[in-house]
Amino acid sequence: MNNDGFFRAAACVPRVAVADVEGNAQAIKSVVKQAEARGAQLAVLPEMCVTGYTCADLFHNFSLLDASERAVRDLTEWSAGCGCAFVVGAPLRVGTALYNCAFAICGGRLLAIVPKTYVPNYNEFYEKRWWQPAPPEDKPFDAEVAGLVAPFGTRQLVRIDGVNIGIEICEDLWTPAPPSSLAAMAGAQVLVNLSASDDLIGKYSYLLSLVSQQSARCIAGYVYASAGYGESSTDLVFDGKGLIAENGALLAQAERWQGGEQVVVADIDIAAIDHDRMRTGSFSDCALRHGAMNWPVMEATTSVCRPDDKIEREIRPLPFVPADDAMGSRCREIINIQAAGLARRLEQIRCRATVVGISGGLDSTLALLVAAKAYDRLGWDRKGIVGITMPGFGTTGRTKGNAVRLMEELGVSMMEIPIGPAVEQHFRDIGHDSAVHDVTYENSQARERTQILMDVANKMGGMVLGTGDLSELALGWATYNGDHMSMYGVNAGVPKTLVKHLVRHFADEQAYATCRDTLLDIIDTPISPELIPADENGNITQKTEDLVGPYELHDFYLYYTLRYGFAPTRIYRMARQAFAGAYDDEVILKWLRTFYRRFFQQQFKRSCLPDGPKVGSVCLSPRGDWRMPSDASATLWLAEVESLK
């Protein structure tokens, strides 16, 4: 398989004419050539597209059946000069029975014939008038099609460019145990469905859910092509559905109700599918339990040429951030997870005092807002939340002002404890020159703040709420035993690119209208630890992203490293496409190198994290989601990054 683990598939809807076999064969060739031109390795066409699905009793006419078999042979011979593989639907006589079949074709070969397993017998789809359900034989047997011989049966796979393909037909998907489920357990990474599904009110939205869910349940790609314009409108109307899904996500869909041809193309991520199957033990357990193993496989290789190096799918630059239409619901869900986790912890330890350091930055703001929500959920007075602002050498008027206003507007208890005198005394104690703004200068401030929080919490019989986020944990951007430590890390599962959206969600909620302006200004404030003095105008001089790199790049690298285990080469290629126009290749590569170096070096900080709620599919808790030795070497990954220069 080429293309960095991506497999390009097309869902094709040709314009058919009922019973015009020769014309339909030409229409099939037309859409297959379009798919090939777009670099598709596999094109999937609708059920009975060779004859038309709505031929009805004409399916019992030998003239139509003979013409259909000749057309399948013609398409097979024609495929010798076609670069991609394709699957078409047509009738086939086997013995005295007539079957509704899918024919897999590639490179001048008829690879396999898969009959429809479940033949409907209800309402308008009384197909049992014409078709027999697939025979119950466990193993395929040879069948003839106009002189061509190919294995016939449902329990077989086709392997195209090293990718296993499972085939089912229309109604098969709608049953309690779809054949595609068995095919997936037998090793099919891409499932295809040749369909002729008419349109009814509400049916399309149900189908979208069905296809997405089946791709998720099977941890597979799913390509669905259904009959369109040209089918008979005597009793039914066909809208031309073309869908490509992957592991629960819809990658592409055809525009319905078109009078002409439709071809939709997407790259299915086989590497991601293989990764998720590998780490999901229940998937292989299920395959063993159902005996879905050792199916015969018919192999073929395409000669398709890709028109460019573009990955044919959306690669979102912010994979942790929900799409706009889901933003509100996802933010509510995340905030509820955070607040519920904190509320449960407070109840468990019988603690009504929560101490949190408030800097006027995004992370501490989110932690404070979540604490307020948790106290509201418990019916407790927010005065039990003690916000402490601890101005130091780099604190600006803007951040301190926002910190104070936010605490006042939320109605929490507030303290101000400057750290300057204590840190200067500490410098004298350890013999450090305060004019030297090195790591000692910075970390002494962070540890002094943590000492204050811990000691105030002890005095009040309370707990310290951590504010550090997932991105900082990944990069080790925290002072060990400083802001690295707390008694509950409420933001530990939230990446930096998502924090501002959660804060904005609070700002847009009516219950937090009193602090909306403050929250919006905090969102607009540059990200900084404020450990280095401000400039002569009181502006922040130490900007985090200038030092460790843009968080949107690091969060992209983090997501694909942890969620899918992708290698640097693949992540680099995806990042180049996702951030085209925003960052040049040199910048992407520079911070990719930084990411791997810091991610490995800083594992020791993650090995002793406080408890905190998991909110998404990526988490760095050493107790469950990410277990890595602190002395693991990054040599392998850094060497691959260097090879990308």
Is 90 exceeded by the pLDDT of residue 122?
A: no
Which of 304, 318, 326, 380 shows the shortest CA–CA distance to 2?
304
Q: What residues are paired with 489 via a beta bridge?
A: 466
| Catalytic position from the list 12, 36, 47, 241 | 47
Q: Which of these ranges, 90-104, 216-230, 326-340, 523-537, has the smallest mean pLDDT?
A: 523-537
Mean pLDDT of 55-64: 93
Q: pLDDT tens digit string along 414-463? A: 999 999 999 999 999 999 999 999 999 999 999 999 999 999 999 999 99
333 annotated active-site: no
Q: Which of 55, 116, 312, 472 is catalytic?
A: 116
What value, to the nearest 5°, has the Cα angle with vertex 59 and ends 92 and 10? 60
Query: Residue 626: what pLDDT?
Result: 94
Instruction: Indicate the average pLDDT of the chain.
Output: 94
Mean pLDDT lowest among 128-142, 420-434, 494-508: 128-142
Place 1 in a pLDDT band, splitting at 50, 70 and 90.
very low
Q: Is residue 127 very low, low, confident or very high in pLDDT (cuts 50, 70, 90)?
A: confident
- Determine whether 424 is exposed, middle or buried from the number of CB atoms within 10 Å of its CB (0-12, 13-18, 19+): middle
Predicted confidence at residue 600, as pLDDT, reads 97
Tokens of 154: 């449902």
Please tell me whether residue 247 adopts helix, strand or coil conformation.
coil
The one catalytic residue in 12, 55, 84, 170 is 170
What is the average per-residue pLDDT within 138-155?
94
pLDDT score of 198: 81
Residue 275, token pair as written in the block: 């990764």
Pairing of β 6-13 and β 42-44: parallel
Whether residue 218 lies in the annotated active site = no
Query: Is 60 exceeded by the pLDDT of residue 366?
Result: yes
Q: So what's the pLDDT on residue 220?
A: 98
The pLDDT value given to residue 258: 85
Element (H, E) at 163: strand 163-169
Q: Residues 6 or more apart from 383 whose CB is under 8 A from it?
A: 411, 412, 413
SS3 of 380, please?
A: coil
State mean pLDDT over 628-643: 96
> Does residue 232 register a pLDDT over 90?
no
Residue 431 CB: number of other CB atoms within 10 A? 6
Instruction: Please say if 47 is a catalytic residue.
Output: yes
* Short-list 217, 215, 214, 223, CA closest to 253: 223
For residue 549, pLDDT over 50 is answered with: yes
Nearest to 9 by CA among 372, 330, 251, 256: 251
| Nearest one of 191, 248, 254, 251 to 223, comparing CA atoms | 191
Q: Is the pLDDT of residue 195 over 90?
A: yes
Euclidean distance between CA atoms 577 and 621, whole angstroms = 30
Q: What is the pLDDT of residue 236?
A: 79
Structure confidence at residue 2 (pLDDT): 55
Paired with 152 in beta bridges are 113, 141
Neighbour count for residue 165 (Cβ, 10 Å): 29
Lowest mean pLDDT among 42-51, 135-144, 474-483: 135-144
Beta bridge partners of 90: 101
CA–CA separation, 553 vs 541, rounded Å?
A: 22
More confident position, 598 or 290: 598
Q: What are 15's two structure tokens? A: 């314009």
Closest CA to 489 of 388, 384, 357, 595: 357
pLDDT computed for residue 446 by the predictor: 96
Report which of residues 611 and 128 the model is more confident about.
611
Q: Which domains does the chain have, with CATH numbers?
A: 3-300 (3.60.110.10), 324-642 (3.40.50.620)
